[in-house]
Structure 1
């Protein structure tokens, strides 16, 4: 958390000098206060859409499997359903669940940003930096040396792109 916009601007410049690319920095401030030339947190970071899509796909797949199993146990007259019907039902359920849940979650502010909401409303600026794990300590030290007023909000666990 940075105290205000001028501190956020200074931090942006210092991180650029430390070779952190601008596309890896995301600022979140009270609506309408962040200058246009500062990288703002995007839609995916400000909403719970990713979490919603994940939950929706799981619930939809399970619901689809249940519906497919019921169709296999009680098939319509004259139809013989195979295991492929169960898989198709699960896939269709996952797709529909992802879509429906994602649409609902797009309107919900990110639960990960909830601890910072009051400070943002008070005029502070949240800075999110995407860094490789090997650079985290270096950048934290740089920030603490130049900006002792900064409050660290923590680090999210490392999640690989492909598990």
Structure 2
């Protein structure tokens, strides 16, 4: 399991230094995500993707649950109305899968256009020119990485998220 740590840095040179330290601490660059004000050139820093910037993942999870439940209810209503004996299970399963798929599709489109709610607390700082680094570290490295980053006086620790899956 991994935890996501958040750090706010005053400028790009400091962000580059911290990213280099994270790489030296054997954190892969695909577990480091850098965000800044719109239009900021990050150079060779690993930029945050759609998955980190938006509520896409949360939205598709919610859409799958709501769509699946709606499809299940629709399937039950369909078999009650049709009363087609041997096909009942297939109808319910088909409706459930269709509902979940439709829920994933629609909520994914919506979620990709919504900013990540977890990052709201950092928006003002980024608009002022600060750089946000999100890093996904193994649980056993959280304390050593945090202690290493605390050595920089200008860095603001932005907290951490609870355990994340190993393959987000």
TM-score by length of 2: 0.88
What does 1:85-124 align with in structure 2 at a 5 Å threshold?
Answer: 85-124=91-130
User: Is 1:55 aligned to 2:51, yes or no?
Assistant: no
Question: What stretches of structure 1 of length at least 5 have no aligned partner?
Answer: none
Matched positions, count: 159
Q: Distance in 2 between matches of 1:60 and 1:16?
A: 41
- Note closer, same or farther for the CA distance 1:51–1:158 as it changes in structure 2 (3 Å cut): same
Q: In the alignment, which residue of structure 2 is the partner of 1:30?
A: 37
Q: Distance in 1 between matches of 2:112 and 2:134?
A: 20
Q: Distance in 1 between matches of 2:153 and 2:89?
A: 62
The structure richer in strand per residue is: 2
1:95-153 deviations in whole A, cap 9, x for unaligned? Answer: 111111101111111111111111111100100111101111101111112x1221111
Find the partner of 1:15 among 6, 18, 22.
22
Question: What stretches of structure 2 of length at least 5 have no aligned partner?
Answer: 1-7
* Structure 1 residue 73: Cα displacement: 1.1
User: Is 1:139 aligned to 2:130, yes or no?
Assistant: no
Q: Distance in 2 between matches of 1:12 and 1:160?
A: 22
> Larger relative CO (CA 8 A, sep 6+): 1 or 2?
2
